[in-house]
Structure formats: C-alpha cells, structure tokens
Amino acid sequence: MTLLLMLLVAGCARAQTPESVAPESLSPSNWTDEDQAKYAELNYFTFGETVSASGSDGMVIGMSGAPAVRAGLDALQQGGSAADAAMTTALAQVALQPGNFVTYAGIMTMVYYEEETNRVYSMNAAYNVPQGEHDPYSIPSIGDGIPDGRTVLVPGFMAGVEAAHERFGRLPFDVLFEPAIFFAEEGFELDPYHADLMRQYEPILRRLPETESLFTDENGDLFAAGDLFHQPELAATLRAVAANGSTYMYTGPWAEKLVRAVQEHGGTLTMQDMQDYAVIWSEPVAAEYGDYTIYAPGLPAFGGVNMVEGINLWQEAGLMPADPYTDSAESLFWLKQIVRSSYLSTFTPEQLDAMFPDADLSFDSRASRDTARFLWQQIRQDHFPFTTAPSADTHSSAIVAVDREGNIASVVHSINALFWGETGIAIDGVVIPDSAAHQQEMMAVAGAGNRLPDPTNPVIILRDGVPSHAAATIGQVHLEGLPRLLTMLDADLLPAEVIGLPAFLSPDVSVDGSGFAFIDRVITGEFDAEIINEVRRKGQPVTLLPEETSFEELVMLRGWWIGIAVDPNTGDTHGVAPRDFGGYALGY
C-alpha cells in the first residue's frame, strides 16, 4: 500500500514579532532538592494511571517526561509564550529518553492559535525524501535485519523548534535548551522499562562503537535500571545548536558527520539535502461541528485530513449528538467503521481511481463535506472496502501548552520508526532512526527531494470563534484521537472525563480474494458484554483480549491522548495526561 501525496503549501504571515522577554535561567539546577527528587520519580513509566491539572494563567501537559513538562511550565511562568513552553518541553522530552521513540533527528508537527490575530497556524517539520533517492522500493524493510543508510531521511525536528520560536517565541532561543542540556549532562535514572528495551535492542546498540559508547558504562556493560544515564556528547550538541541555531545540524559540523555516516552505509543523503530543508507553514484543515471549528494540520500531512474526514462522516451518519460509544452499540459500531476511512491515506492515486473511478479522493477533496457525504453512501451501501455494513436484524510524544494571553500550541514530535531503528547510527549523542524502512511506497509517491506526509493530528478547537479545547495523540493516532474528541464535544465532558474511556485498538486485518476483513479487538471487561454482542450481531466481528494484556502487548495496538479544555468565560484551563510514558500535566 502507499500514501497519497499532494504538495500544497500556503504561507501564513505573522502580524508582528512578539516582544522578547529576558528570563532567569530555566535550568532545573535551580529547582529545590525536593522538586528534583519528585520529578525524577515522576519520570518513571507508571502504567494505567492518569494525572489532571487546572490553571488560571497557563498550562502545559506532555505525553512523556514529567520533568520536561515542569520545565515547560517554568518557561510560561517566566513570561514565555505557549510556543516557548512547548519547544522547551519537546527538547527536554527527547533528552529524557535514551533515543528510543523520540529524537532530535525526527519530525515535528504543530498547530498554533495566536490570540492577537485570532488565527490558527499549521507548521510541518516532517521528513524529506533525499534528492538522490529514486528507487525507494529497494530500501530494506523493518525486520530484514539489514542496516542500510538509505533508511535515513532528512530530519525536521530541530528546524521545527527554531521555526516555531522565530514566529511565536518570546524567550531567547538558547534558554529553551537549558533543561534538555541539564538532563543530558547531569543524567537521569533509567526506569526498568527503558533498561529492558536496551537489553532487547542490545545487538543494534552495540553495532557501532560510537553508539555502543552511549549506552554502556565504563565497564562496557549496558546501563541498568536505577543507573544514572549521562549523555555528555548530546549535551555538547545541544549547546552548539543553542548557540548557533538549527544550522549547526543542517549545514554545520553535525550535518557533515551525519551525511558521512549515512553514505558510508550506502545512503543517498547529501549536504544539499540538509541545506535545502525548510519548514512548511500551511493553512490548517478545518471541520465545522455544531458550534465548534476543529483545526488540524494542513497539507502535505494527511493526519489532519483523516481527522476532518472522520468528523464529517460522523455528522453524515446523523449520530451527533449521540450516546457515548461506551453505552451504545449503535454508536460503537458506526464509530468503528468511520475510523477506518483513514485507510484511504495508504493508497496511491492510481489505486484510489481503481476503487472509486468516479470520485475525487485527493487530500483536498477528502477534507470536504461533499466527499464525506459520498463516502458515507459507500459505507452504508457496503461499497467501501474497509468497513462492514450492518446486518439486517503508528512512537512519538505530544505536548499541549496554553499561556497567560491565551495562545495555544498543540504539538506532536516523533521518531516515526521502531525503537532506535536498525542502523545503530548515532551522531554526537543523537540517535538516527531508520524511518524509511516502513515508508518505501509513500516515498515513491512523494518523490525524491519532497516532503513525506505523516499521520500526526494535533488539534485546536474554537467554539463560536473562541478557543475551547486542544488535544494531541500518539500511537494509533486516528483510532485514539477521533473517538475521544467526538465524545468530549458531544457529551460536553472535560478531558479528564474522556481519557478513562476504553481505547479503540488496531483491528486484526486480513486480505483475500474477496477484499479486506477486519476483526476488532477489545479488552475484556472494558465494554458491557451485551453491547459487544450487539455489535457482533450487526456484523462486526470482535475478539476479546485478556483483561491482563500487558502494556508491552498493547503498545503497538492503541494510541494515547492528551487534552486541554479552556473555560470561555474565565480562561481557566483543565488538562489531563496519561502517566504511561511518564506523562504529566501542570497548571498555574
């Protein structure tokens, strides 16, 4: 399967540069001993728990790295904008992970509400395909066990950090790096989850001497749970970027080392690729939903299109407002069908033309209400290949930040690969993912030198023109993000009331001569047994997974969601985050 690409970029002019603020240091070295101990403990993964918070002057919630969330709140309290808080948090989140599911060589997507202009902006800092990559189908795939430099793409994360700061930041750029530098230099305690991951990926982490040195102690042993994980090489890299800007990683010494290492492993990445990388500012896609307008990332990403399409399909289904999917077999059945419309994003234009010869299913069209009306007819008539008509009788982190003035940043950044990838390449403390190892067909459609579309879907929601909610999702982003958003708005619930609802798991999919077959998966006990039986009677097969299914088994099957609600009268914020990845929520 492939991913459809349409490169349509619209510039977003900034009304004026915000007045800069001269803060004190954001380094956690200024925290009290009690706070340092508290957040070190909170950085451990805590499965199955959530944390909620409220604030009157600002809020930061993050999917991982409780100390990073605290650093982001410090940025707000010292006069920083929502963008400053989000970028401070993102930089620190990466430093607090040993390179496994977020990286400074990854991607970033942001939607941003600016109170001054009452506009929502969309920033795309996703991967580029190297300009010399003309045969992506021959790139080794995940699991082949072949470390290959051709699996390395042009990264966007650090360019995104700088672009977000240039447009919306108030604090000095170098100050945003202080927490990340502190955590890299002073170290943090490895929790058992990360230590176990290192053991599982030991052959990859030991493949190259520079990478091996990052993950082993002075005796040559892998770091273990409870050990302090120091990253002095990373601290030096971050200092260089803080002092010189993102050009250090795109045209400077770091870029030269990256290109040399990738080419030594057969990759096509060049200095020209690095120099030519540019962040895309585009118009966000949007859906009207009752009194709400939901804004999601614009093209060339497809995550926002998936979200808007799902919202429009839900309205075409006539199930708004509806009983929550936890209480209604009708809502659960149709919502499970509607989320599968996102599979359209995995096909080439030629394949879509073959399936729907009389329809325009370009990204632009799929964001429209008219196309949703057409697709809903196909679903109801059992002509849609990914759904079931009723019978008769993808690793990342996320941040949402709100500042005192009411600006809002909703951000997702990701490695978009399996843990560490398979190349084992690291450049001055930065682990390099093999993100092309599962996106070969999408790269072929995008074309050499072009932006690779991605599924991330952070959202900002306005009600009657006033900010009301913001949310971001990682993992199975559409399966997780759409049901929670719809339930929150339909039932007028706070994020803390939505996050505990059952997750939509990735279905078991098979393909045969008759087409696609989807068997949904549900954790035993999360839904009333009669609701599940009614969904089955409607024709949707459901497999019950054991109630004790482990986090490790679920991590590839589900998504994780964070959300903030803003009181339109007072501006007070209410947010929630899962603790599974060390996430946290703080308001003030």
Residues 89 and 193 in one domain: no
In a domain, 583, yes or no: no
Residues 215 and 239 in one domain: no
Residue 395 near residue 474 (C-beta atoms within 8 A)? yes
Residues 357 and 481 in one domain: yes
List CB contacts of 26: < 8 A, sequence separation 6 or more.
71, 74, 75, 78, 88, 171, 175, 176, 178, 179
Residues 173 and 261 in one domain: yes
In a domain, 12, yes or no: no
Q: What is the pLDDT of residue 310?
A: 94
Residue that is last in its domain, among 381, 414, 446: 446
Q: What is the pLDDT of residue 418?
A: 82
Q: What is the pLDDT of residue 322?
A: 63
321 prior amide bond cis, ω within 30: yes
User: Dihedral sign, CA of 481, 484, 487, 491?
Assistant: negative
Q: For the chain, what is the domain count?
A: 3
Residues 221 and 103 in one domain: no
Q: What is the pLDDT of residue 319?
A: 74
Q: What is the pLDDT of residue 8?
A: 28
In a domain, 426, yes or no: yes
In a domain, 294, yes or no: yes
What are the start-end ranges of the H helices in 29-145? Answer: 33-42, 66-77, 82-95
Per-residue pLDDT of the chain (588 residues; tens, 9 = 90+): 333 232 223 333 333 344 566 667 999 999 999 999 999 999 998 888 999 999 999 999 999 999 999 999 999 999 999 999 999 999 999 999 988 889 999 999 999 999 999 999 999 999 999 999 999 999 999 877 788 999 999 999 999 999 999 999 999 999 999 999 999 999 999 999 999 999 999 999 999 999 999 999 999 999 999 999 999 999 999 999 999 999 999 999 999 999 999 999 999 999 999 999 999 999 999 999 999 999 999 999 999 999 999 999 999 988 766 678 888 898 999 999 999 899 898 888 888 888 899 899 999 999 999 999 999 888 887 788 888 766 544 468 999 999 999 999 999 999 988 888 889 999 999 999 999 999 998 899 899 999 999 999 999 999 999 999 999 999 989 999 999 999 999 999 999 999 999 999 999 988 766 678 889 999 999 999 999 999 999 999 999 999 999 888 888 889 999 999 999 889 999 999 999 999 999 999
Q: How many CB atoms lie within 10 A of CB 133?
A: 25
Residues 49 and 138 in one domain: yes
Q: Which of 124, 109, 126 lies closest to 452 in space, CA to CA?
A: 126
Residues 516 and 469 in one domain: yes
In a domain, 19, yes or no: no
Residues 382 and 514 in one domain: yes
**Residues in a beta bridge with 523:** 545
In a domain, 21, yes or no: no
Residues 430 and 373 in one domain: no
Q: What is the pLDDT of residue 6?
A: 29
In a domain, 422, yes or no: yes
Residues 540 and 464 in one domain: yes
Q: What is the pLDDT of residue 20?
A: 64
Q: How far apart are CA 142 and CA 166, in angstroms?
A: 36
Domain around 554: 285-395+460-492+502-571
Measuring CA to CA, how many Å separate 216 from each of 98, 194, 205, 250, 285? 12, 14, 9, 28, 46
Residues 139 and 197 in one domain: no
In a domain, 146, yes or no: yes
Residues 390 and 424 in one domain: no
Q: Which of 116, 108, 85 lies closest to 163 in space, CA to CA?
A: 108
